[in-house]
Amino acid sequence: MEDLKQIHGQMNKLGLFCDSFCVSNLLATCAISNWGSMDYASLVFSQIDDPGTFEFNTMIRGHSKHSDFESALKLFDEMLERGNSPDNFTYPFVLKACAGVGLMKFGRNIHGQVYKFGFSDDLFVQNSLINMYGKYGNIVDSCAVFKEMEQKSVATWSALVAAHANLGMWWECLEIFGDMMEMGSWRAEESTLVSVISACTNLGALDLGTSIHGYLMRNLSGLNVIVDTSLIDMYIKCGSIEKGLGLFNKMKAKNRLSYSVVISGLGMHGHGHKALLQFSEMVEPDDVVYLGVLSACRHAGLVEEGLELFEKMRHEHKIQPTIQHYGCILDLLGRAAMFDEAFDLIEKMSMSPNEVVWRSLLSAARIHCNLEVGDKVARNLMQLGSDNAGDYVMMSNMYARAQKWTDAASVRSMVSNRGLDQAAGLSLVEVKRKMYRFVSQDRSRSNWEEIYEMIRQMEWQLKFEGYVADTSEVLHNVDEEEKKQRLRYHSQKLALAFALLLTPEHTTIRIVRNVRMCRDTHTYTKFVSVVYNRKIIVRDRNRFHHFKDGNCSCRDYW
C-alpha cells in the first residue's frame, strides 16, 4: 500500500492525475485489490473532478466487496444524480448491495431499472437478481428469473441452489443439483457443492454426499477447514460416525467448530463418554463447543456430567449461558424426570424461557406421563402465544393417554379454531443415490401396491418372531382394529418396505424422520433388523437409533 501511495504522489507531481487511464487504474487498484484500502480509494475518488461510469462502478464494487453496502448504494444514487448511465457492470454489485441491506422494495426498483435500460438479458445481471431474491427469501422471484433465462452458466445454477439452501429447502437443492448434473456441461463450483453437502446432511443422503466428497477430492488440490467440517457434519448426521471421525482425525488444522461438530455428533449417536473425552482435549472451549458437549450429555442422559460442565462453563471459563445452553440443561433434567430442579433453574435464568425451553419440558412430561407438569408447562406455552400445533397435539395426547377424552378434544379444537397446521410426519430414505419421502398411508409412488404388499408380508413374518402392534400411542377414541390400521402404513414402515424391495441384501438402510419415533415403530424396526438381517439407522430430529440383530443403540425411553 505504501508503494501505491508513492505512485500516487508521482502522478500528482508529473501531472498525470488528469489522465483518465492512469487515475482509473489507480482507483481500481485501491478499491478492488485484496491489499487495497477503501478509505484511500475514497480519497482518490474525491479528487476526481468528473468521475465517469467506470470510476463509479469501481467504487460501488469496492464497497460491496468490503460489505459496506450502504456506501455502495449512496454512490449509486450519486451516480444517477450526476447523469452517469449505469451499465451491465454496475448492476451486479448494486444488486449485491441491495441484498446485503435487505431492502426488497429498493431491489425491486433496481430490477425495474434493469428492464428499463435493457440489461434484462445480461447473464451477470440475471445471476445477481437470482442471488438478491434468494437472500431476501423470495424464492418465487428467484425461480422466475431463472426460468426466463435463455443462457445459463454454472454461476446461474449455483445462485439458484444457494437461494433454496438459504431457506432450508434441501429437497429442492438436490433436485436442482440433479438437473444441473444431467445437463453435463458444467463443473459445479465449490460453493455449490457445500450447499449440496448441507442438503445431504439435512436429508440423510449419505451416498450422494460421499460421491460429492469424491468429486471434491478429484477436482481440488486441498480442502479448507470449512469444507472439511461440512463433510464431517454430513457423515455424522447421515449415520456414518466412523467416516466422520476418520476425516476429523486426518484434519491438519482443526477449529472450534470442527470440535463442536464431532462432540455433538458423538452425543447424537449415543457416545456420550467419547464426546466428553474429545471435549477434554480442548484447551479453550467457547460457547459453541460447550453447546455441543451439553447436547451430547443430553442425548446420552449424563445428568451429573452435564450439570458439572454447565457450572464449569459459567465459573471457570466465564461464558454467559445463552437460551440454547439453558435449553440443553433443562431438556437433560426433564428427560431424567427431575422437574423440580428444572423449574428451580428456570427461576434462576438470566432471561425469560422461550417456547423451545417449555416445549422440551412438555415433551419430557409426556415421556414420563406427568400430567401435572404437562398442565403447568402448557399454560406457559399458551401465555407465550405458541402457534406450534405440535404443542397442543402433545398436550391432547397426554389427556388422551389419561383417558380424559373431553380435555383432549377441547385442546384439539383449539388447534382447529386457531387455524394451526401440524407438520405431517414424514420419513426419508435413500435408494440408489436418490431420496424418497413417505407420509402415513402414502400411495403417491407408482409401485405403491407392491410396497403395501411388502408391508403385509413383513407384518406376517414379524408376527412369527413375536411382534405385536403397540397401539398405546394411537391416542384416538377409536376401536383397536382402526388403531392397528393407522399403524400398519406408518411413513417409516413404508420407507422400510420400499428400501427392502429395492436395495441388495445385507446393505444398511438409512432413514431420516422429522418427528420423534413412536414406541411401536421402534419395536417394529428392531424385528425387521432380525428377520431381514439388515442394519437400520434412523435419525429422528437430532438423535440416532442404530438397529442390528434386534438390538438398538439408543436409550429406550418414551
59 in a structural domain: no
pLDDT tens digit string along 214-263?
A: 988 888 777 888 899 999 999 999 999 999 999 999 998 888 899 999 99
Region class of 447: left (phi > 0), else alpha (psi between -120 and 50), else beta: alpha
DSSP secondary structure letter of residue 281: T
Mean pLDDT, residues 63-86:
91
pLDDT tens digit string along 415-471?
A: 777 777 666 789 999 998 889 999 989 999 999 999 999 999 999 999 888 998 887
457 in a structural domain: yes
Same domain? 387 vs 495: no
Specify the residue for cell string 387455524: 419
Same domain? 445 vs 525: yes
pLDDT tens digit string along 118-139?
A: 898 999 999 999 999 999 999 9
pLDDT of residue 5: 56
98 in a structural domain: no
Same domain? 396 vs 450: no
Same domain? 459 vs 544: yes
pLDDT over 80 (residue 519): yes
> CA angle, corner 292, sides to 288 and 297, nearest 5?
145
Query: Which residue type does 544 have?
Result: F
285: exposed, middle or buried (Cβ count in 10 Å: 0-12, 13-18, 19+)? buried
Same domain? 434 vs 537: yes
488 in a structural domain: yes
Same domain? 512 vs 542: yes
DSSP secondary structure letter of residue 16: G
384 in a structural domain: yes
> How sure is the predictor about 302, in pLDDT bands with cuts at 50, 70 and 90?
very high
Same domain? 486 vs 514: yes
Among the candidates 397, 422, 447, a domain finishes at: 422
Q: For the range 216-220, what are the long-range contacts, defined as Cβ-Cβ under 8 Å and sequence gap of 24 or more?
A: 216/190, 219/187, 220/190
pLDDT tens digit string along 178-206?
A: 888 888 667 778 888 889 999 999 999 99
161 contacts 191 by C-beta, under 8 angstroms: no
pLDDT of residue 480: 58
Mean pLDDT, residues 504-512:
93
pLDDT of residue 557: 47
The mean of the pLDDT values for the chain is 87
Specify the residue for cell string 461440512: 230
Same domain? 375 vs 464: no
Same domain? 452 vs 418: no
Among the candidates 422, 439, 468, a domain finishes at: 422
167 in a structural domain: no
| Three cell numbers, residue 288 | 459453541
Same domain? 363 vs 418: yes
Q: Which domain holds residue 385?
A: 330-350+357-422
340 in a structural domain: yes
140 in a structural domain: no
Q: How many domains are contained in the chain?
A: 2
Helix H segments across 336-471? Answer: 339-348, 355-367, 371-383, 389-401, 405-417, 448-465
Same domain? 410 vs 339: yes
Among 512, 500, 346, 509, smallest CA distance to 425 is for 512
Same domain? 444 vs 537: yes
pLDDT tens digit string along 526-548?
A: 999 999 999 999 998 778 999 99
Among the candidates 394, 422, 450, a domain finishes at: 422
DSSP-derived 3-state class of residue 357: helix
